[in-house]
Amino acid sequence: MTIAVRFAPSPTGILHVGSARTALIVWLYARKNNGNFMLRIDDTDLVRSTEENVDDIRSGLTWLGLTWDRQVRQRDRTAEYKRSIQKLKDIGRLYPCYETEEELALKRKTLLSQKLPPIYDRAALDLTEDQKKKLEAEGKKPHWRFKLNHELIIWNDLVRGRVEFHAKDMSDPVLVREDGRPLYHICSVIDDIDFGITHIVRGEDHVSNTATHIQMFEALGAKSPELAHLTLLGDTEGGKLSKRKGSLGIKSLRDEVGIERMALVSLIARIGTSDPIEPLFTMEEVIQGFDFSKFSRNLPKFDEDELYRLNAKILHKTELADVKDRLVAMGLGEIDAHFWNAVRPNLEVLSDIMDWWHVAKGPVNPIIQDADFVRIAAELLPADPWDNTTWDKWVNAIKAETNRKGKALFMPLRCALTGQEHGPELKELLPLIGRERALERLKAA
């Protein structure tokens, strides 16, 4: 059997880190098993879906390296949905209901006041044909519910293990609105049947929906795919991660924050698993390490600090050729391998390189901690040409003249030369600053 999976985002919002994690896991499962990965845009909500969000989803997946084998949009499949919905009506598994939202809300409130579960009472099943005609003559249009068979629904989830529901404890789900538009549940099931989806991987917020979907598959003459429900991401305070946090949109992390692709992939591929979170440098590494058996039922927490740590570690091992085009776009095309290798151990995000470029090329505001000491250092500054031996020669001369050593020797020099208390090794940085700029900064004393 060829494994076929799908990632099915709704373009009512941007691609968020939680959705990106699901997409990555689905993609990894497909690639690990030489399967087929489909991108399905669930855009039946024509009011809230936007092309801008469709573009955001596609570009975010592409940036993450998640290529798809086929793509489909639900808005193009209206005819297929109508045919299957009519089949469910013909066999009596879809039935019309005429209650208004207010009437349904009152029923739920009454049941809750009696400490009973707010399950739909199936009153519409008792309507006669004459009663239905009368309601429609009054201008009422029905919504359509799927009639659940009151039996045990069981499946073996690839993440959660054995999952069990009894249909009698659930409301018959609404599948078609009053205006005739089908809801997500039935469209998703029809698509999964038509496109031969073998495994459904999605968030655990769909677990109860899945129980009803299994009966929909059966009613349409199909077998439910294998199922895996992932624990949703939480934040560091233990709450559920909100997809409305714009800072956690993939586009924002990429363009505004400057997160490296493999830093984000490394985190969301491993978070919630038994594997250590560590920098991964190729998608092949990520694919080979993937296995559903490693996923925990505990709430995984998305830690932005962890993301920055991974980002720094990846940058520290990144070669200049891999970022050259981006540096050119930042206006730093003249950066060479010497400069890059000197400053990359101090980068958390790539844009930090701008700070060190200014430190090297100036102007900077020197910090003068000891004017007399800095004056002596300026007098002992070696002549050109400078290379990576210049620092040691200079420091040894200053040490001999002042008897200083350690932090008392190095810190005033660093502060005067860079205006910073921390940074790249001065042995590497000094030749990048050059004698003329170094002397100018030292003379600020």
How does residue 207 score in pLDDT terms, banded at 50, 70 and 90? Answer: very high
Within a domain: residue 16?
yes
Predicted pLDDT of residue 33: 97
What is the spatial distance between Cα 103 and Cα 143, in angstroms, rounded to a whole number? Answer: 13
Instruction: Give residue 89's Cα distance to chain centre.
Output: 39
Per-residue pLDDT tens digits for 363-386: 899 998 889 999 999 999 999 999
The pair phi, psi for residue 235, each rounded to 5°, is: -95, 180
User: What does the pLDDT average to over 83-102?
Assistant: 97
Predicted pLDDT of residue 242: 47
Predicted pLDDT of residue 113: 95
Do 166 and 98 fall into the same domain? Answer: yes
Do 41 and 124 fall into the same domain? Answer: no
Per-residue pLDDT tens digits for 1-40: 799 999 999 999 999 999 999 999 999 999 999 999 999 9
DSSP 292: G
What is the spatial distance between Cα 442 and Cα 418, in angstroms, rounded to a whole number? Answer: 10
Do 84 and 172 fall into the same domain? Answer: yes
Predicted pLDDT of residue 194: 98
Do 68 and 188 fall into the same domain? Answer: yes
Structural domain containing residue 209: 4-72+181-230
pLDDT higher than threshold 70 for residue 240: no
CA atoms within 13 A on the CB side of 11: 23
User: What does the pLDDT average to over 417-422?
Assistant: 92
| Count of structural domains, the chain | 3
How does residue 45 score in pLDDT terms, banded at 50, 70 and 90? Answer: confident
User: What does the pLDDT average to over 80-100?
Assistant: 97
Within a domain: residue 191?
yes
User: What does the pLDDT average to over 301-329?
Assistant: 95
How does residue 247 score in pLDDT terms, banded at 50, 70 and 90? Answer: low
What is the spatial distance between Cα 106 and Cα 126, in angstroms, rounded to a whole number? Answer: 19
Predicted pLDDT of residue 444: 82
Tokens found for residue 119: 């399950």
Helical pair 390-402 and 371-379, crossing angle rounded to 10 deg:
120
Do 187 and 167 fall into the same domain? Answer: no
Do 17 and 134 fall into the same domain? Answer: no
- Where among 176, 192, 207 does a domain terminate? 176
Predicted pLDDT of residue 362: 81
Helical pair 261-270 and 304-316, crossing angle rounded to 10 deg:
130
Task: Give this prediction's pTM.
Answer: 0.90
Predicted pLDDT of residue 53: 96
Predicted pLDDT of residue 243: 44
User: What does the pLDDT average to over 80-102?
Assistant: 97
CATH of the domain at 112: 3.90.800.10
The proportion of the chain whose per-residue pLDDT surpasses 70, expressed as a percent, equals 97
pLDDT higher than threshold 90 for residue 199: yes
Predicted pLDDT of residue 47: 87
pLDDT higher than threshold 70 for residue 238: no
| DSSP string computed for 51-83 | HHHHHHHHHHHHHHT---SEEEEGGG-HHHHHH
**Considering only 134-143, 246-255, 289-298, which range has the smallest mean pLDDT?**
246-255
